[in-house]
C-alpha cells in the first residue's frame, strides 16, 4: 500500500487492485498507474475537502490517466448535490454523473474492487470505511470528529460528544489497517480527544493525522500526551510525503 499525502485531508492510497483518492482539493496529484481503477471520495462539500474539478478525472488523459479508459467511480457524502444546475455549472457529463453515488451514513456499497461503508459525520457528509478484496481496510474520517470548541455552549459541546461516540460505534473492535483521522490544532488539547477515542475503540494498525492546517508539530504534542499510541501513529510532516505500508 502506497500512500501520498496531498494536503490537509487529501490522500492518494494506491493498492494492487484499486487506487483510492480521498478529499482532494489541494496539492499535486501524482501520475496514476496505468489500467488501475480509481475510486474518488469526497466526504462532504466544505471547500477544504471537495472541489468540483475532481470530476475531470473521468476524462483526463496522458499526464494523469493513461488512456482515459480506466474505471472511475465517485463516492460523495450527502450534501454534495448532482442535480442538473450543479452538473451544468461544473461541466459534468451524463456519463460521469452516472459513475457518482451520493451516500448517507449507515450505507454499504459494493463496487468491483471494494466494499464501501459510510458512517454519519458530526459535521457534514460522511466518513468512509473501505474494505479491499484481500480484506485490508482503509478508513477516512472526513469531518467525523469530537469537535469541542472553547467558548461554545456547554450543551452544544456535550451533544457533540454524544453524537461522536454514537457515530463511531460501528468501528468498535473493527480491524482497520490504515486510518486517516482529524488531529486539529485549532481545538487545543481537545483536538486530541477524537483520534484518541478512535484509537481506543477500533483496532487501528496505522494512524495518519490529517486536518492539521499545516501545523504538523501538533502530532508530537498528541504523542506527548498519549505515548501509548506512538507505535501506531505515522507523523505527517509535509505535503507530497509518501508512505509505504
Question: Does residue 108 or residue 69 have the better pLDDT?
Answer: 108
Q: Residue 173: is it exposed, middle or buried by C-beta count within 10 angstroms (0-12/13-18/19+)?
A: exposed
pLDDT number for residue 59: 66
Q: Tens digit of pLDDT for each residue in 55-98?
A: 999 865 434 444 445 589 999 999 999 999 999 999 999 989 99
Q: Residue 38: is it exposed, middle or buried by C-beta count within 10 angstroms (0-12/13-18/19+)?
A: buried
DSSP strand pairing (114-120 vs 126-131):
antiparallel
pLDDT number for residue 71: 87
pLDDT number for residue 66: 45
| Mean predicted confidence (pLDDT) in 116-136 | 97
**Residue linked to cell 499545516:** 214
pLDDT number for residue 34: 80
pTM (2 d.p.)? 0.95
Encode 176-214: b = buried (16+ Cβ within 10 Å), e = exposed: bbbbbbbbbbebeeebbbbbbbbbebbebebbbbbbbee
Residues 140, 128 contacting (CB under 8 angstroms): yes
Q: Tens digit of pLDDT for each residue in 3-44?
A: 999 999 999 999 999 999 999 999 999 988 888 999 999 999
Amino acid at each position: 500500500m502506497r500512500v501520498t499525502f496531498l494536503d490537509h485531508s487529501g490522500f492518494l492510497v494506491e493498492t494492487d487492485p484499486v487506487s483510492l483518492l480521498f478529499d482532494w482539493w489541494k496539492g499535486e496529484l501524482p501520475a496514476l498507474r496505468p489500467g488501475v481503477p480509481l475510486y474518488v471520495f469526497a466526504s462532504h462539500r466544505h471547500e477544504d475537502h471537495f472541489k468540483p474539478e475532481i470530476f475531470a478525472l473521468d476524462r483526463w488523459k496522458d499526464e494523469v490517466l493513461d488512456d482515459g479508459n480506466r474505471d472511475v467511480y465517485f463516492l460523495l457524502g450527502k450534501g454534495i448535490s448532482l442535480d442538473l444546475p450543479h452538473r451544468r455549472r461544473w461541466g459534468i457529463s451524463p456519463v460521469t454523473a452516472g459513475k457518482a453515488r451520493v451516500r448517507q451514513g449507515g450505507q454499504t456499497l459494493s463496487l468491483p474492487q471494494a466494499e464501501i461503508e459510510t458512517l454519519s459525520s458530526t459535521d457534514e457528509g460522511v466518513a468512509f470505511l473501505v474494505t479491499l478484496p484481500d480484506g485490508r481496510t482503509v478508513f477516512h474520517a472526513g469531518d467525523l470528529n469530537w469537535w469541542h470548541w472553547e467558548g461554545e455552549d456547554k450543551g452544544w459541546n456535550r451533544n457533540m460528544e454524544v453524537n461522536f461516540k454514537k457515530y463511531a460505534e460501528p468501528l468498535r473492535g473493527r480491524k482497520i489497517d490504515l486510518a486517516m483521522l482529524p488531529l486539529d490544532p485549532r481545538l487545543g488539547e481537545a483536538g486530541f480527544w477524537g483520534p484518541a477515542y478512535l484509537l481506543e475503540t477500533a483496532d487501528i494498525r496505522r494512524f495518519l493525522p490529517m486536518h492539521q492546517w499545516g501545523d504538523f508539530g501538533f502530532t508530537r504534542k498528541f504523542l506527548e500526551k498519549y505515548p501509548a499510541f506512538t507505535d501506531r501513529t505515522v507523523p505527517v510532516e509535509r505535503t507530497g510525503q509518501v508512505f509505504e505500508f
